[in-house]
Amino acid sequence: MTVSKLLRPKTLAIVGASPKPESFGASLLQSIRYLGFPGEVHLVNPRYERIDGQPCYPDVASIPGGVDCAALAVGDALLVDTFTSVAKAGVRGAVLFSRAYGQTSDGRTLGQAIGDVAAEAGMAVCGANCMGFVNLVDRLQVTGMPFRSLPAPSGVALISHSGSTWSGLVGNRRRMGFDYAISAGQELATTMADYISFLLEETDTRVIACVMETIRDPEGFLAAATLAEARGVPIVALKLGRSEAGRHFAISHSGALSGSNAAYEAVFARHGVVQVRTLDELLDTAELLAMKRPMRAAGVALGTDSGGERQLISDIAADVGLSFVPLAPATRMAVEAHLDPGMEASNPLDYWGDGADVMAPVLSEMARDPDVGIVVMATNLPPDRNFSELSAAAIRKVHAQTDKPVAVMGNIATTLSPVIAEDLRERGIAVLMGTANGLAALRHLQSYRFSRHGREDVAAVPLSADATAIIDAAPLDSLRSADGFRLLELAGIPVMPFADVRSPKEIAAFADRHGWPIALKIDDAAIAHKSDLGGVVLNLKDEDEAVAAYEALRGRHPTAPILAQGIASGVELILGMTTDPDFGPIVTLGLGGVFTEVFRDVVTLMPPFGVTEARRALEGLRGYPLLTGARGRAPVDMDALCALISRFSAMAAGAKDRIVEMEINPVLAGPGGAVAVDCLTLRRKKALQHDH
């Protein structure tokens, strides 16, 4: 694999080496020497015969025996020619630091030209516009802004699109040495997916941390994420740019709610990728997931020396969705035996009473609880304080008495003694830096180890010939609601009874078949949101009301088709499919009906998926109690609702080549089942016009 030639070379060339102390080429050579790389390092620069006593070659082709990887310390003006010569010399890995800004004489960008050469030569390329990489396993650092020393490998690897972030993370003071730390830059030839595959297939990395701006190879990333999930190697991702305006087609509520991060969240959820929100959370999460001791139970037990901080911990834990396991009766009795009178054995536990040192005994008792998978001491460890040393000694004793993972969470990150933290980490005790980050990391650990579920084998359902005919016959790229309803019926999705009506007589006939009350709606494919234009009249109780409503609608919209539809009560949900340009169809599910964009209580998923995943998604909504009987309501038929959602997901996946956006809003769920009430559909042709 060519990535190994890039990141694990036996021989390395610095192209553009220089004797000038402050030059980039000199810094590159110094970076390689700092860690004591044992491989061969060759210097290339036609202007010098020797640099620092070492032979200097006029070009890479002149180096005897060939080279695995070349680091190019040249500017954009020389970049393409130099890179081409390196490729012709048989080098299979290259690091490009310059921006690759500009064009070649044939009109290509420098990036395109380099990508073409790399593809033809089968080269792995780090960059351009990157900081380089660090490989602690082989003691190799290739960067123009080097670190004089770095800690030992930790089992964690890093891939970052942001160069400055890469530098900050590599230089972290928690002594987390990244086995491999790759500044991916512009990914002109080699992508994050390639790096992940290399780490999974050719290294002993236990956790892969990613700081990503975008995924340039969606298919490759999905394959790499699938492999990581199968091998039990967690990917921890910090996605940058979550708040950017969504890439949607702006006709449906689903599109408005599916912002730039929606597809990523769906992909991450489907493949077990742990999504974090901050760099500190990334580091805490990676440290926990890299622990060598297995977490055999899902329960988190935490003890602290502060009643006030216990309240803070409980508050923030609730915010991030972390629950603390109830202690078994025997554990509570054992813990209370060590506490001062009147103190309660709870989880989280405030164990500090009148000053007796009970830290190790109570935490060890909590560790013995069969439902506890990890034990955490939450405390502040300021330097030069006896109590900090007592706390550290206690947690070391707990660690020695259990085979479960053990962690310390510093409630104030800047207070933690670096000396104590380093000692604890060297013993295998994780040290989490701050209450919010630490609790979020514990939640990620708990979720990754115990909340992932096997997926049901659900296949996409291709559109039938009848469905394709409906789409092809539509005069506009937006379909009428009636046509959308027919597509849903063909997919086996229940639809509220409907019919085109052209006269009061037809309205009466519809009501005779389906009963009063009914609704009347204009059904013009050019009008996406009918209710906003007074195009919907609900709860028509008899023929007189229906005729009046019909005449009013005809007055507002003289030529638009009018649809009659039955009326029912229930909880309103939104169910939509949009198409992400990278990952294809995604499904948006939430509560709210016409107020969906106000409530914004939605979740996104990758289709197709089964009824179990549909139920889990519903359970994750803030408004889920509305479905289960809140405020005296009758519970909805969850089986019917989940079946509808799953069938819609199969349809969404199967229709991706013909339908780009579809929304049922609302889906009406009640005790007697679930049914589609309104439908908006956009076929692919119009979506392509929106893209341009």
- 340-379 per-position pLDDT tens digit: 998 999 999 999 988 778 999 999 999 999 999 999 999 9
Q: Of the candidates 388, 387, 376, 377, which has an alpha carbon nearest to the alpha carbon of residue 418?
A: 388
DSSP three-state, residue 603: strand
DSSP codes, 156-189: EEEEES-HHHHHHHHT-TT--EEEEEEE-TT-SS
Q: Could you give the percent of the chain with pLDDT greater than 90?
A: 85
pLDDT average, residue stretch 466-476: 94
Pairing of strands 562-566, 518-522: antiparallel
pLDDT recorded at residue 260: 58
- 641-652 per-position pLDDT tens digit: 999 999 999 999
For residue 24, give the H/E element and its range.
helix 24-34
User: What backbone torsions phi and psi does residue 472 show, to the nearest 5 degrees?
Assistant: -65, -30
Confidence bin at 595 (pLDDT 50/70/90): low
DSSP three-state, residue 376: strand
pLDDT recorded at residue 565: 96
- Residues pairing with 212 in the sheet: 239
Confidence bin at 676 (pLDDT 50/70/90): very high
pLDDT recorded at residue 248: 39
Tokens coding 394: 């206690």
DSSP three-state, residue 82: helix
Q: How far apart are CA 70 and CA 45, in angstroms?
A: 13
Q: Could you give the percent of the chain with pLDDT greater than 70?
A: 94
pLDDT average, residue stretch 53-81: 96
Q: How far apart are CA 392 and CA 410, in angstroms?
A: 12
Are 520 and 537 in contact, with CB atoms under 8 Å apart? yes
Are 275 and 239 in contact, with CB atoms under 8 Å apart? yes
User: What backbone torsions phi and psi does residue 39 show, to the nearest 5 degrees?
Assistant: -80, 180
Confidence bin at 264 (pLDDT 50/70/90): very high
pLDDT recorded at residue 520: 96
How far CA 387 is from CA of 399, 421, 453, 559, in Å, comes to 18, 14, 43, 82
Give the lowest-confidence range in 39-43, 334-338, 589-593. Answer: 589-593
* Residue position matching structure tokens 């294809």: 584
pLDDT at residue 569 greater than cutoff 50: yes
Confidence bin at 598 (pLDDT 50/70/90): low
Q: Indicate the Cα dihedral angle 622, 626, 632, 636, nearest 10°.
A: -150
Q: How far apart are CA 544 and CA 301, in angstroms?
A: 67
Are 295 and 372 in contact, with CB atoms under 8 Å apart? no
Pairing of strands 177-183, 153-160: parallel
Contacts of 23 (CB under 8 A, 6+ apart): 73
> Cα angle vertex 608, ends 602, 611, to 5°?
70
pLDDT recorded at residue 594: 59
Contacts of 19 (CB under 8 A, 6+ apart): 26, 48, 51, 52
Confidence bin at 253 (pLDDT 50/70/90): very low
pLDDT recorded at residue 142: 98
Q: Which CATH class is domain 298-430+437-450?
A: alpha beta
pLDDT recorded at residue 9: 98
Q: How far apart are CA 651 and CA 493, in angstroms?
A: 10
Averaged confidence pLDDT in the chain: 92
pLDDT at residue 254 greater than cutoff 90: no
The CATH 3.40.50.720 domain(s) of the chain lie at: 2-240
pLDDT at residue 1 greater than cutoff 80: no
- Residues pairing with 675 in the sheet: 668
Quick one: 634 exposed, middle or buried, by C-beta within 10 A (0-12, 13-18, 19+)?
Answer: exposed
Confidence bin at 633 (pLDDT 50/70/90): confident
Are 208 and 199 in contact, with CB atoms under 8 Å apart? yes
Q: Of the candidates 329, 369, 335, which has an alpha carbon nearest to the alpha carbon of residue 353?
A: 335
- 404-453 per-position pLDDT tens digit: 999 999 999 999 999 999 999 999 999 999 999 999 999 999 999 998 76
Confidence bin at 250 (pLDDT 50/70/90): very low
- 73-126 per-position pLDDT tens digit: 999 999 999 999 999 999 999 999 999 999 999 999 999 999 999 999 999 999
Are 680 and 528 in contact, with CB atoms under 8 Å apart? yes
For residue 578, give the H/E element and its range.
strand 571-580
Are 40 and 10 in contact, with CB atoms under 8 Å apart? yes
User: What backbone torsions phi and psi does residue 88 show, to the nearest 5 degrees?
Assistant: -65, -25
Q: How far apart are CA 182 and CA 495, in angstroms?
A: 52
Tokens coding 167: 């530098």
Q: Indicate the Cα dihedral angle 641, 646, 647, 649, nearest 10°.
A: 130
Are 676 and 488 in contact, with CB atoms under 8 Å apart? yes
Amino acid at 105: S
Give the rounded distance of the alpha carbon of 73 from its chain centre. 35
CATH 3.40.50.720 is right for the domain spanning 2-240: yes
Q: Of the candidates 117, 114, 37, which has an alpha carbon nearest to the alpha carbon of residue 74?
A: 114
pLDDT recorded at residue 388: 95
- 578-589 per-position pLDDT tens digit: 999 889 999 999
Sign of the dihedral defined by the CA atoms of residues 445, 450, 451, 452, in that order: positive
pLDDT average, residue stretch 609-632: 91
pLDDT recorded at residue 689: 40
Q: How far apart are CA 241 and CA 235, in angstroms?
A: 19
Are 99 and 111 in contact, with CB atoms under 8 Å apart? no
The CATH 3.40.50.261 domain(s) of the chain lie at: 298-430+437-450
pLDDT at residue 256 greater than cutoff 60: no
Confidence bin at 599 (pLDDT 50/70/90): low
- 137-189 per-position pLDDT tens digit: 999 999 999 999 999 999 999 999 999 999 999 999 998 999 999 999 999 99
pLDDT at residue 259 greater than cutoff 60: no
